[in-house]
Structure 1
Amino acid sequence: MSFQACGCETSWVNPSITVTCSGNQYVVFMTLVDMLIRYACKISDPCGRIIPKTQPAAQYDFIVIGAGSGGSTIAGRLAEVNEWNTLLLEAGMDEPPATQIPAVPAFTNTLIDWNFTTQQESGACLSSNGICSWPRGKVLGGSSVFNGMMYMRGTPADYQRWVDAGNTEWSYDDLLPVFKASEGNRQVGSLVDEKYHGTKGPFTIQQFNSHPKLAEDILIAANQSGWPVSNDLNGDQFVGFAIAQTNNRDGARLSLAKAFVRPHKNNDNFDVMINSTVTKILIEGDGDNKRAYGVEFVYNGTTYTVNATKEVILAAGAVQTPQILLLSGIGPKEELDAVNIEQVHNLTGVGKGIKNHVSFSIVGTINETDVVDLNDESLAQYLSKGTGPLSGTGMSQLTARIPSNYTSPDDPDIQLFFSGMSNTCAYSGLPGLPTDPEDPSALRVLSIACVNLHPKSSGQISLLSNNPLDPPKIVANYFNHSDDIKVVLAGVRIAQKLMQSKIMQEKYNFTLQQYDYGNCSSLYEFDTDDFWECAIRYDTYPENHQSASCKIAPQSNEEACVNQRLQVYGISNLRITDASVIYTPTSGNIQAIIVAIAERASQFIREDYGIDSQI
């Protein structure tokens, strides 16, 4: 089915917003919401979307694998060069219109999510029998289509660790102009400083148009508790509490595909194929002088082979980049032998040392009735002006980055994420209705996630089989290093202190909820360190900032995969431009550094082929 209400013919893009709501009572009203969003041309952008190819050419100059944050960025930059032909391959569909609304529940566990899970963990995620969920975007735009949109770059100390490991061209000073080149920051001069931010890039950055009064009051609570408040955690005051800037434009989510891919939808030199699953990178040559000459992928049940005359660029993410390398015979021989794949190139670091931020949330109530903010009035405000509660993420736009006692003041190791006052599914358009009709006097809930930013535990990505359509084997090893759980616990104590501040008690009567957390309450006294450590292992939450599975590092490092120009060791025309090359996780959400990695790769490619750099 297609429509022309916005002046162009476009097909419906599924899934509908209704898949984010569990329960028949939501179907009627949420179906109406979804329909209105699809016809809201400025939000759903039907005429700006790419028209995917259904048949590839025989060869291209560049083939980009994966259209997530890194793949969308570099593909868009390559498309700027008229004399280059580029193919972008994405395993998922185009992004559904309803994902553009910042306030809607995330589209995890739907068709646009790979729905990965870890192998059974012995000391984490015990509420789900040790199986941790790892949502990953299977959609044009990748996880930028359903993540929290927070723009956080990391700190100078993060990149100094990269430099100390031998990545001498990846300091904070090296990266600052790269960050600025991508950015179209709309609050330079009014909120943030031009020293740290750019205004001419395609990646629109600004605060949401709406944030709750509670978020502002928690900034007051931070000051009352002795912590600083910052206008810009990406500027000179990178420690403290802030209402974050995010990637949004005119009240709508700005995925990386919308920012970098859609502007080139009419380019003759740029093809995009969706629903196209890469099964193998094709390699030729001997020794350390091999080259990637093409890509094999499956589209609509047919296997295609396409050649690359210049480079293959792998941007499938921290999970699937190592998976695709291993499926291509690139990796340690013993791992490839185990699944009957012939080794094509020895690279010991593939999949080794993957890390992820991990958190635990304390939960409390405030003295306000919990009502549904999505209704006829807020929807009309959003559709007409791009403002109101639907144009933000409630309390989730508030964050803090602060040091525990285990680190130095200029190297914060804890991040706090807040959730609450988000626009959950609505069963009616009437304003002021209770979120739970069976408990109309229920109070609003505020959750605070306490994140360890510098995990010492690491895991591995490998293969379960040689079938490219099978999921990879994911071992997280959360809390294998004892220091990691201590940092999360330190975050819990910081969050508790914040909630005991004068304003949070006198104005909101924040009340911490007590849960059993399995058998933790029977084993330990509530609020002791032992109790919280038990609770953290029981109710673990992976933050979905997976990285460091194909690291940038000197070749002598056994976990290294790429050199400082992001070229795979021994295969110079194969580059990686996603979170897998991150050496150690940065302090915060990782989308900004992924974009910078892809920007640098495009700069390196331009230099290698004699094209003027855009940075």
Structure 2
Amino acid sequence: MDCGCCVPYPGPSLANTCYGGSFIFFMSMLDIMTRNTCDLSEICQRIKPKLQPDLEYDFVVIGGGAAGSVVAGRLSEEPDWKVLLIEAGGDEPSGSQVPSMMSNFIGNPYLDWNYKTEPQEKACLGEKERRCTWPRGKVLGGSGVIHGMMYMRGVPKDYDEWEKMGNPGWGYKQVLHYFKKSEGNQQVGTLVDGGLHGTDGPMVTSRFPDHPEMADDMMKAAEEVGYSVVNDLNEGQHSGFTIAQANIINGSRLSSARAFLRPARKRPNLHIMINSTATKILIRKDSHHKTVSEVEFVYNNRFYKVKVKREAILSAGAINSPQILLLSGIGPKQELKKVNITQVHNLPGVGKNFQNHVSFGVRFELQSMKDVNDLDGLALGHYLVYRNGPMSSTGMAQVTARLTTQYGNSSEVNPDLQFFFEGFLANCSRWGVVGENAHLGTYNSKKAILISPVVLRPKSRGYIGLKTNRPLDPPLMRPNYLTDEYDIKILIEGVRIAQKLSKSKILRTKYGIKLAREDYGNCAKQFKYNSDQFWECAIRYSTRPENHQSSSCKMGPSSDRLAVVDPMLQLHGIEGIRVIDASIMPFVVSGNPHGTIVMIAEKGAQFIKEKWLNNL
């Protein structure tokens, strides 16, 4: 189909995202049909990148991910402001907008940094060199292009505690306005409360058009074993099981780039450089002040410098924002000295206080179900014509729960454990035939699901540093997972809750659910199977870091030694630099962070508007 424009197709093909040559035919057909479905690929609504920057801009936004797309889009609403957005990756491939393909592009160098951590002492012990894998989006929309699209805020207590830590204006009542500003919830009045959700924002939100029958049965199982089931964990009852809402529109992924940048693509004051990696922020010093001067970046093997007239905004995420600050000589002197970088400004907290949710996947086999593909020709047709069916959802990944363990405070709503689920995902197919075996060479394998407990309030802390002073080298990433015993205790209780769910009558009789016996390296030989010691060994062996990295450029008052930015998100001690992304969280929120990151970006952009519009 001719969509009426001549635009180079962005990104890799879906045909290259599945293992084995036998997948190429059907996945190539899927990619072509997705690409040529104009309202799905939005090929004619894509941004037109600049090939060379101008000499100066009012604002330079570094990073076009979940936060940077929002900031650049909002700032460019002011026609007199000239805005440059610098993004290290390219545009989203249309295949990534199909919900069931949510994990297909993870590890693809076109849109994933595919980072590896430093060797861990107490986690990821089964990985090569004990290095955990960190998928991180390198694409317009950032990690919002490779995540599960779930729309989950933290609980109100998270933001109230941020405020109590010396950050006025960040309590739940104040940030709720910015959550609602960005949100376009399509199920207000039928599923969620209009008083707590927005309806006019660009981030369209609803449940997926399809969910497997087992999602409903998991809700029944939860009730059967004593847990509550709610419509919306973002409302008054913040604990229980639910089928979550997601950021989707017409059955396809809605990243913040798609929501905030594509509608702004014709604004002459918004310039976007893709495949361009920021390397340094340059500072101008006099006897009394330090002020932002220029931003340096590399595009097409050439270094550029652009002058910043008002502000540089770091929205490169919890890994790359501290990396760029350190490369600029901003950070603790001892860290900079290790890689021969001259300190420009002392900020001891840069890269410190790093946090991430960590989880463990418990695998259950469904003895009553044969493992066949959920993607076939019929599902493809339904999706392209009606935008429903298994391709329009993430299978069991849309199911979640937030609970309070025995280690949490049951007297208040402060859950410390979340659950994610995997299974029934229509993401790859060989021939698109109904009943096709999911894996080559298997005929009687059973379908399986994964139930993953997640530590919501981890006590382990890590840091981001530099390995070298070369700006294109990956940073040093030392998360220190599971170094605090509290995190292990939470996960073990999560395993027990997963087992409790599997003992429900509905899952046993309808699906024949059974815990899959796995050895996890030598754990089964070292410890009694199913003992707490066995599960601790298994969790350390098969650790699953979530893609929820945060807190490495902590927000806080100047009296806080680890604070990098103030409550207005301005860098302490240097005028004209803000950090607006997940790195500013004082601690990681109790839920999926994407919605909170968009809220932070909305609030940060408003700070900038209030400052500079009032100065006119």
> Could you say which TM-score interval applies, normalised by the shorter chain?
over 0.9
Greater mean deviation of Cα atoms: 76-85 or 160-169: 160-169
Inter-partner Cα distance in structure 1 for 2:315 and 2:287: 24
Partner of 1:425: 428
SS of the aligned residue for 1:112 comes to coil
Deviation at 1:286?
4.2
Counterpart position of 2:328:
328
**Alignment map for 1:367-378 (pairs within 5 Å):** 367-378=368-379
1:362 and 1:492 in contact (8 A); partners too? yes
Paired position in structure 2 for 1:107: 105
Contiguous gaps of at least 5 residues in structure 2 = none
Q: Which residue of 2 aligns with 1:149?
A: 149
Show the counterpart of 2:402: 401
2:476 matches 1:473: yes
SS in 2 for 1:312: strand
- 1:17 matched to which residue of 2? 14
Secondary structure in 1 matching 2:375:
coil
CA distance in structure 1 between the aligned counterparts of 2:525 and 2:436, rounded to whole angstroms: 38
The residue number in structure 2 matching 1:221 is: 221
SS in 2 for 1:219: helix
Structure 2 Cα separation of the partners of residues 556 and 518 of structure 1: 47
Distance in 1 between residues matched to 2:375 and 2:450, nearest whole Å? 20
1:81 partnered with 2:78? yes
Alignment of structure 1 residues 187-586 onto 2, 5 Å: 187-286=187-286, 289-366=289-366, 367-409=368-410, 410-586=413-589
Cα pair distance change 1:280/1:511, threshold 3 Å: same
Query: Could you tell me how far 1:288 is from its partner in structure 2?
Result: 6.9
Shift of 1:358: 0.3
In structure 1, what residue type is equivalent to 2:408? T
Q: How many Å apart are 1:333 and its aligned residue? A: 1.0
CA contact (8 A) 2:466 2:476 kept: yes
Superimposed CA distance per residue, residues 553-602 of structure 1 (whole angstroms, 9 cap, x where no aligned partner): 11122211000000000113101110100111111110011111110111
| Equivalent-residue separation in structure 1 for 2:443 and 2:77 (angstroms) | 55
C-alpha displacement of 1:106: 3.2
**284-293 vs 447-456, which deviates more?**
284-293
Amino acid at match of 1:103: S
Whether the 8 Å CA contact 1:577–1:597 is kept in 2: the answer is yes
Are positions 1:58 and 2:55 aligned together?
A: yes
Which residue is equivalent to 1:72?
Answer: 69
User: Size of the alignment, in residue pairs?
Assistant: 609
- Tell me how far apart the structure 1 counterparts of residues 437 and 114 of structure 2 sit (CA, whole Å): 31
Q: Is the 8 A contact 1:352 1:460 kept in 2?
A: yes
**1:484: how far off?**
0.8
| Contact persistence 2:322–2:464 (CA under 8 A) | yes
Alpha-carbon distance between aligned partners in 1 of 2:370 and 2:286, rounded to the nearest angstrom: 68
Give the AA of the match of 1:428. W
**Does structure 2 conserve the Cα–Cα contact (< 8 Å) formed by 1:288 and 1:571?**
no
Equivalent of 2:590, from 569, 572, 587?
Answer: 587
Give the C-alpha shift of residue 353 in structure 1: 1.3
SS at structure 2 position matched to 1:127: coil
Work out the CA distance in 2 between the residues paired with 1:195 and 1:611.
30
Query: What is the CA distance between 1:66 and its match in structure 2?
Result: 0.2
Post-superposition shift, 1:610? 2.4
Could you list the per-position Cα deviations for residues 494-520 of structure 1 after superposition, in whole angstroms to 9, with x for gaps in the alignment? 111111111111211110001010000
What is the deviation of 1:436?
2.2
Shift of 1:488: 0.8
Aligned partner of 2:439: which letter? D
CA distances 1:65-115 after superposition (whole Å, capped 9, x unpaired): 000001001111011111111000001011111001000133111121001
Q: Which amino acid aligns with 1:275?
A: N
Partners of 2:169 and 2:267 in 1: how far apart? 33
Aligned-pair distance for 1:235?
0.7
Contact 1:287 1:570 in 2 (8 A): no
CA contact (8 A) 2:104 2:427 kept: no
Please state whether the residue corresponding to 2:334 is helix, strand or coil.
Answer: helix
Aligned partners of 2:14 and 2:104 also within 8 Å: no
For the residues of structure 2 that align with 1:440 and 1:585, how far apart are their CA atoms? 44
* Contact in 2 for aligned 1:114/1:137 (Cα 8 Å): yes
Q: Is the 8 A contact 2:9 2:43 kept in 1?
A: no
Query: 1:162 Cα deviation (Å)?
Result: 1.2
Distance 2:610 2:139 in 1: 31
How much does 1:302 deviate? 1.2
Aligned-residue offset at 1:440: 2.1
Distance 1:286 1:348, change over 3 A: farther
Scaled by the length of structure 1, the TM-score of the pair is 0.98
**Distance in 1 of aligned mates of 2:453 and 2:60:** 39
Shift of the alpha carbon at 1:294? 1.6
Tell me the percent identity: 48
Say if 1:288 and 1:570, in contact at 8 Å, map to a contact too: no
2: CA distance between counterparts of 1:496 and 1:347?
46
1:123-160 alpha-carbon deviations (Å, 9 max, x no partner):
10011131100111011111111101111110012122
Q: What is the aligned partner in structure 2 of residue 94 from structure 1?
A: 91
Contact 1:25 1:427 in 2 (8 A): yes
SS in 2 for 1:363: strand
TM-score by length of 2: 0.97
Cα distance in 1 between the residues matched to 2:573 and 2:466: 22
CA distance in 2, matches of 1:171, 1:506: 46
Residue 161 of structure 1 contacts residue 584 of structure 1 at CA under 8 Å; is this kept in 2?
A: no
| 1:528 Cα deviation from its structure 2 partner | 0.5
SS at match of 1:551: coil
Aligned to 1:518, the other structure's residue is in SS state coil
Shift of 1:369: 1.4
User: After superposition, what is the alpha-carbon deviation per residue over 1:246-276, rounded to whole angstroms, capped at 9, x for unaligned?
Assistant: 1100000001100011101000111101011
- 8 A contact 1:106–1:147 mirrored in 2: no
**Matches of 1:547 and 1:267, distance apart in 2:** 32
Distance 2:508 2:562 in 1: 49
Q: Give secondary structure in 2 for the equivalent of 1:176.
A: helix
Q: Distance in 1 between matches of 2:265 and 2:163?
A: 38
Question: How much has 1:27 moved relative to structure 2?
Answer: 1.1
Q: RMSD of the TM alignment (CA)?
A: 1.2
Please give the alpha-carbon distance, in whole angstroms, between the structure 2 residues aligned to 1:482 and 1:219. 31
CA contact (8 A) 1:63 1:88 kept: yes
What CA deviation, in whole Å up to 9, does each residue of 1:451-486 have, x standing for no partner?
000000010100000000000000010111111110
Deviation at 1:374, TM superposition (A): 1.3
2:609 pairs, out of 572, 585, 606, with: 606
Conserved 8 A contact 1:222-1:498: yes
Report the Cα distance in structure 1 between the residues aligned to 2:516 and 2:97, rounded to whole angstroms: 33
Question: Greater CA deviation, 421-430 or 524-533?
Answer: 421-430
Matches of 2:472 and 2:321, distance apart in 1? 14
Using the alignment, how far apart are the partners of 1:157 and 1:19 within structure 2? 44
SS across alignment from 1:64: strand
Say whether 1:186 aligns with 2:183.
Answer: no
Aligned residue among 27, 35, 38 for 1:38: 35
What secondary structure, in the 3-state scheme, does the structure 2 residue paired with 1:223 have?
helix
C-alpha offsets along residues 144-187 of structure 1, whole Å, 9 cap, x if unaligned? 11101111110012122212211232111111111000000000
Tell me, yes or no, if structure 1 residue 125 matches structure 2 residue 124: yes
Question: Residues 287 and 149 of structure 1: is their aligned pair in 2 closer, same or farther, counting only changes over 3 Å?
Answer: farther
CA contact (8 A) 2:313 2:577 kept: yes
Shift of residue 447, structure 1, vs aligned partner? 0.4
C-alpha deviation, 1:287, in angstroms: 6.8
**Would you say the 8 A contact 1:288–1:569 is kept in 2?**
no
